[in-house]
């Protein structure tokens, strides 16, 4: 069976079906290229006997897009060759749209990337009005641009101002949204109705061509030399630079391609587009983003879930502690249709926790993203209580009380008196070892860590922590619960701080080291964000709160001393926390201010006295040194976590670092960043940083072994 088949009916309407027999989805691989070339050549030869063409898919999805495996394997010297391959793809589509006969596409499933670029080459686009149908050009999320005519045609279809958000944001549209945006022309209620509409349109439009092939064509919103577009271009460039800091080449390439394509004919524009695509396809940013995409798919498919256990669902969840975290967990569960018992020491506190859900839902209603009916349905699922006995019939109970070991022990003991011994009990702790907390559980095999991130309703990650006695069955059920919440789970083994908190503390600590080295606070913060971090380490300190960070370090010190180990309190991060909290009363944002002031009704600003209390800079520290210190410190700690067995997989690390900690997406994650730099080169740079700035940058043994062996993570 060939990839592309043609079938003519009694009305001389040809159905062109895309169906790759070797795959579950259609992609733009060599078989597609050859099949499409042969098909359009046949159409061209028989054009006088054709009334029109309907393009459809033989798959449940319409067309998945480009072959990412092929792109990932490209070497830098193959950029031009890949661009030429793109021109072959576009030549077939160009022949299709210039046949002089009406071409209609029937979009029965997801048409993303290259799939929608096929649709754009058709004169009329009809989509099935179904939730499974997604339409869009998400290439930018993979560090690429739509290179099969997507940029060129979208700009001609919508105009520059309307096209750029579609191309640069990578959004997937529902059929209704795509219709409203002008990406498609019609929707149908059933596959049969879709084909009927396609046939009807062909009969009503016997001679069809694209608007941009009509003499005198004008771009919607104005040509490139119009006053409106000339004013828009510098604004678009400045906005892009402010948002992306020049770290994501695909966005810049899309903007450049869009503008340049407006100055030339469509054939020349196609060549421009292909050259930019070839450049992007071999870029390290694209390699990292595609790798991250594959790893995310793997994790979401259940790679970290133990095998041999049936899928489970939580029907009733208990949450102990109605503060910020507990309230957020309750909201997330209720919106997933799970009944929740939200417990606290008083009915008023429990009710305040439930009120959080009401406030979130009110904001969604105000934005048109929810309804009063949906709000009441969600709130009806949350039972606020001060009675532990109400937890008795819960499938899973999560304690989300303050980060205090004694308090967590007390809550665990009290709650489990009401529960079945096989009920799964989880702690939403960010630092305390799960194995220690499980000592007060009646069944440590059913005890696990579920580390949610704040704010829970917005953060997509949950870090699942297995204690020494946590059973695989418990892990499987916890994993299923996280998926039930529509969040992404990563699985790690037990240690103080686990993986995410441990690495993030290292990032926050580097603020103290940099301040002690005399680096100006504004420079620290700005360079961190220019490297791609969402906030600088000083702001991160403030958000977590210096008081809490100091308490965590004191708890770590005590635990190490109890184990017969030492803890150095003379290191800069510890000293800076003590000074800020105890000498200057700057305990963090929640306490009125820390490294920043937070004037009411104004933007936060760095505390003016901060520069006055730090030492003078005594050594030459370049901007690159500062940025490398802020990124390398995190990846080095991630390697130590992998080396020690805290991390179970490279995928868990990379996904956790981006979704949980905000590590720059263009790097692909903590460990993919090392691969991208080059393992040997990364180790050499780390040693250089260690020689100049301290032993915390000393390459771990695992890194040195991999550098010597020429392997990567």
Three-state DSSP class for residue 24? coil
Tell me the pLDDT tens digit for each residue of 523-545.
999 999 999 999 999 999 999 99
pTM metric for this prediction: 0.93
How far apart are the C-alpha atoms of 581 and 675, rounded to whole Å?
Answer: 39
Task: Give 176-193 pLDDT, tens digit per residue.
Answer: 999 999 999 999 999 999
Burial level of 612, CB count in 10 A (0-12/13-18/19+)?
exposed
What CATH code is carried by the domain that includes residue 589? 1.10.1040.50
Spell out the residues 6+ positions from residue 514 whose beta carbon is closer than 8 angstroms to its own.
524, 537, 626, 629
Q: Is residue 385 within 8 Å of 306, Cβ to Cβ? A: no
pLDDT computed for residue 131 by the predictor: 87
Q: What is the CATH number of the domain that holds 228?
A: 3.90.226.10
Residue pair 697/633 in contact by the 8 Å Cβ criterion: yes
CB atoms within 10 A of CB 318: 30
Tell me: pLDDT of 618 over 90.
no
Note the pLDDT of residue 691: 97
Give tens-digit pLDDT for 226-259: 999 999 999 999 999 899 999 999 999 999 999 9
Strands 135-136 and 172-173, by their bridges, are: antiparallel
Are residues 198 and 74 part of one domain? yes
Examine the domain organization and report whether 328 and 269 are in the same domain.
Answer: no
Q: Measuring CA to CA, how many Å separate 218 from each of 125, 156, 228, 266?
A: 21, 8, 13, 13
Domain's final residue, options 480, 497, 514:
497
Q: Please, which pLDDT band fits residue 421 given cuts at 50, 70 and 90?
A: confident
Q: 34 with 88, same domain?
A: yes
Q: Do 426 and 397 meet the contact criterion of CB atoms below 8 Å apart? A: yes
Residue carrying the six token digits 């802020």 = 630
Q: CB count, 10 Å around CB of 617?
A: 12
Paired tokens of 1? 């069976």
Calpha distance 413→394 (Å, rounded): 16
Q: How confident is the model at residue 66 (pLDDT cuts 50, 70, 90)?
A: confident
Give the bridge partners for 106, in sequence order. Answer: 126
| 90 and 228 fall within a common domain | yes
pLDDT for 43:
97
In a domain, residue 29? The reply is yes
**In a shared domain, residues 100 and 205:** yes
Average pLDDT over residues 148-172: 96
Q: How many domains does the chain have?
A: 3
Q: How confident is the model at residue 615 (pLDDT cuts 50, 70, 90)?
A: very high
524 and 484 together in one domain = no
Residue 295, pLDDT above cutoff 80: yes
Instruction: Clarify whether residues 485 and 507 are in a common domain.
Output: no
Q: Does residue 337 form part of some domain?
A: yes
Residues 6+ apart with CB under 8 A from 696: 506, 513, 633, 636, 690
Residue 432 has pLDDT above 70, yes or no: yes
Write out pLDDT tens, residues 369-404. Answer: 999 999 999 999 999 999 999 999 999 999 999 988
- Both 278 and 166 in one domain: the answer is yes
Looking at residue 424, which CATH number applies to its domain? 3.40.50.720
- For 266, half-sphere exposure in the C-beta direction (CA atoms, 13 angstrom radius) is 26
Scored b (16 or more CB within 10 A) or e, 572-599 reads: bbbebbebbbeeeebbbbeeebbbbbee
486 near 313, Cβ under 8 Å? no
The reply to whether 267 falls in a domain is yes
Please say if the pLDDT value at position 320 is more than 70. Answer: yes
Domain membership flag for residue 310: no
Same domain, 160 and 213: yes
Q: Is residue 665 part of a domain?
A: no
Q: Is residue 198 very low, low, confident or very high in pLDDT (cuts 50, 70, 90)?
A: very high
The side-by-side arrangement of strands in the sheet containing 13-18 is: 4-8, 13-18, 52-57, 103-107, 124-128, 186-188
Asked if 713 contacts 674 with a C-beta cutoff of 8 angstroms, the reply is yes
Q: Average model confidence (pLDDT) for the chain?
A: 95
Q: How many CA atoms lie within 13 A of 455 on its CB side?
A: 8
Q: Which structural domain range is residue 132 located in?
A: 4-282
Residue 607 lies inside a defined structural domain of this protein: yes
Could you tell me the two tokens for 125? 């686009």
Does residue 436 share a domain with residue 333? yes
Tell me whether residue 585 is in a domain.
yes
Q: What is the per-residue pLDDT across 327-344, written as a single tens digit (0 to 9) for each?
A: 999 999 999 999 999 999
Pairing label, strands 461-466, 488-493: parallel
pLDDT at 115: 95
**Residue 302 in domain:** no
pLDDT of 697 higher than 60: yes
Indicate if the pLDDT at residue 1 is higher than 70.
Answer: no
pLDDT tens, 300-315? Answer: 999 999 999 999 999 9
Q: Which of 238, 258, 282 is the last residue of a domain?
A: 282
pLDDT score for 559: 86
Size (the chain), residues? 713
Task: Name the more confident of 133 and 555.
Answer: 133
- Residue 258, classed as helix, strand or coil, is helix
Same structural domain for residues 493 and 524? no
Q: Choose the final residue of a domain: 478, 497, 516.
A: 497
Percent of the chain with pLDDT over 70: 100
Do 493 and 527 fall within a single domain? no
DSSP labels, 508-520: HHHHHHHHHTT--
């Amino acid at each position: 069976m060939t990839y592309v088949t043609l079938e003519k009916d009694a009305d001389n309407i040809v159905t062109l079906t895309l169906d790759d027999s070797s795959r579950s989805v259609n992609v733009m691989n060599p078989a597609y290229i050859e099949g499409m070339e042969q098909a359009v050549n046949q159409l061209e030869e028989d054009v006088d006997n054709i009334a029109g063409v309907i393009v459809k898919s033989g798959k449940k999805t319409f067309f998945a897009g480009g072959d990412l495996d092929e792109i990932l394997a490209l070497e830098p010297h193959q950029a031009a060759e890949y661009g030429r391959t793109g021109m072959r793809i576009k030549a077939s589509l160009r022949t299709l749209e210039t046949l002089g006969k009406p071409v209609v596409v029937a979009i029965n499933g997801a048409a993303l990337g290259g799939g929608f670029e096929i649709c754009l080459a058709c004169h009329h686009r009809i989509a099935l009005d179904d939730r499974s149908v997604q339409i869009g050009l998400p290439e930018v999320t993979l560090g690429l641009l739509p290179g099969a005519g997507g940029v060129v045609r979208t700009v001609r279809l919508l105009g520059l101002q309307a096209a750029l958000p579609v191309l640069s944001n990578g959004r997937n549209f529902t059929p209704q949204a795509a219709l409203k945006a002008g990406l498609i022309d019609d929707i149908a209620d059933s596959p049969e109705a879709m084909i009927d509409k396609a046939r009807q349109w062909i009969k009503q439009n016997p001679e069809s061509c694209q608007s941009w092939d009509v003499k005198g064509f004008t771009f919607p919103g104005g040509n490139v030399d119009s006053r409106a577009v000339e004013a828009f271009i510098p604004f678009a460039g400045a906005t892009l630079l402010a948002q992306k800091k020049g770290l994501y080449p695909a966005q810049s390439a899309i903007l450049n391609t869009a503008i340049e394509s407006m100055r030339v004919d469509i054939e020349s524009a196609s060549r421009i587009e292909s050259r930019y695509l070839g450049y992007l396809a071999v870029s390290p940013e694209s390699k990292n983003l595609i790798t991250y995409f594959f790893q995310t798919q793997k994790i979401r498919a259940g790679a970290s879930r133990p095998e041999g256990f049936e899928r489970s669902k939580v029907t009733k969840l208990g949450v102990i502690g109605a503060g910020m975290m507990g309230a957020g967990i309750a909201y997330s569960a209720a919106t997933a249709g799970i009944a929740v018992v939200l417990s606290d020491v008083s009915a008023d506190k429990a009710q305040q926790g439930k009120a959080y859900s009401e406030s979130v839902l009110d904001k969604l209603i105000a934005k048109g993203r929810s309804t009063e009916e949906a709000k009441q349905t969600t709130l009806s699922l949350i039972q606020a209580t001060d009675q532990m006995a109400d937890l008795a019939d819960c499938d899973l109970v999560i304690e989300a009380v303050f980060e205090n070991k004694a308090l967590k022990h007390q809550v665990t003991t009290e709650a489990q008196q009401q529960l079945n011994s096989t009920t799964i009990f989880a702690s939403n702790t960010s630092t305390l070892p799960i194995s220690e907390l499980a000592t007060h559980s009646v069944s440590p095999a059913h005890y696990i860590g579920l580390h949610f991130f704040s704010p829970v309703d917005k953060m997509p990650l949950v870090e699942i922590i297995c204690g020494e006695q946590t059973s695989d069955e418990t892990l499987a059920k916890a994993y299923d619960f996280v998926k039930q919440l529509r969040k992404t789970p990563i699985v790690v083994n037990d240690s103080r701080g686990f993986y995410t908190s441990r690495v993030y503390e290292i990032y926050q600590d580097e603020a103290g080291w940099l301040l002690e080295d005399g680096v100006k606070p504004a420079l620290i913060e700005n360079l961190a964000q220019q490297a791609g971090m969402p906030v600088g380490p000083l702001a991160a300190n403030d958000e977590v709160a210096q008081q809490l960070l100091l308490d965590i370090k004191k708890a770590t010190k005590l635990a190490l001393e109890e184990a017969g180990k030492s803890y150095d309190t003379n290191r800069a991060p510890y000293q800076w926390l003590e000074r800020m909290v105890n000498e200057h009363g700057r305990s963090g944002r929640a306490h009125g201010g820390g490294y920043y002031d937070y004037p009411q009704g104004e933007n936060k600003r760095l505390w003016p006295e901060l520069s006055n209390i730090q030492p003078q800079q005594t050594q030459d520290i370049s901007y690159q040194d500062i940025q490398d210190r802020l990124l390398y410190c995190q990846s080095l700690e991630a390697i130590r976590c992998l080396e020690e067995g805290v991390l179970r997989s490279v995928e868990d690390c990379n996904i956790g670092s981006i979704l949980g900690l905000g590590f720059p997406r263009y790097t692909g994650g903590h460990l993919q960043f090392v691969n991208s730099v080059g393992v040997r080169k990364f180790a050499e740079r780390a040693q250089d940083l260690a020689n100049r700035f301290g032993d915390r940058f000393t390459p771990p043994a695992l890194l040195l072994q991999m550098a010597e062996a020429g392997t990567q993570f």
